[in-house]
A = this chain, B = another copy of it.
């Protein structure tokens, strides 16, 4: 634990960095126990023995706090809607490239694989990833599509992206693990594009 605030001898609130660490630990426990939808900023604050306002002060929204708790230096809930807002041509390829380039970073891959293993492997933590995906990612993608079947389109995209990550980085099927990012962008990008727009 490093100090988060610059040290100030007098007047500095006792245990400011302690509160931050306590909130983060409470968030990890609360998310693991209740899933993404069940945990709230309020329940996390109560568990940490602090006011909700302090949680917002240190971490912002629930999605911010989740990203911090999971420890992945990546914000798909912010980046993906940005990709979708660009020109419609090649949205699929840009999305696949974004995910693969992220997972090619060892630190993202390490934590991402851990998160996938945990979420798929345990009945207890499955709702964590499913809830985050549904609320923060798929619903935003769906909103940007504005069709009757937008939720299904977004979920189909998630199924192909998740399957690609699992086959390449978890199961490590040789042909997929050995393919280049460009090769996979060229093969999987059109699938994502079709699910979104065709």
Contact = CB atoms under 8 A, between A and B. Distances in A.
Which of A117, A126, A166, A173 has the most chain B CB atoms closer than 10 A to its own CB?
A173
Contacts of A164: 159, 163
Contacts of A117: 120-123
A194 B195 contact: no
A159 B152 contact: no
A92 to B, nearest CB: 12
What number of copies of this chain does the assembly contain?
A: 2
A174 interface: yes
A138 interface: yes
Interface in A181-197: 183, 187-188, 190-191, 194-195
A134 B177 CA distance: 12
Interface string A106-141: 000000000011111111001001100110001000
A23 interface: no
A105 to B, nearest CB: 20
Contacts of A19: none
Given A161-B163, A187-B152, A187-B156, A173 B121 contact: no
A162 B155 contact: no
Nearest to A130: B171
Contacts of A134: 173-174
Contacts of A191: 160, 191, 194-195
Given A121-B122, A195-B187, A155 B167 contact: yes
Interface of A: 116-123, 126, 129-130, 133-134, 138, 151-152, 154-156, 158-164, 166-168, 170-176, 179, 183, 187-188, 190-191, 194-195
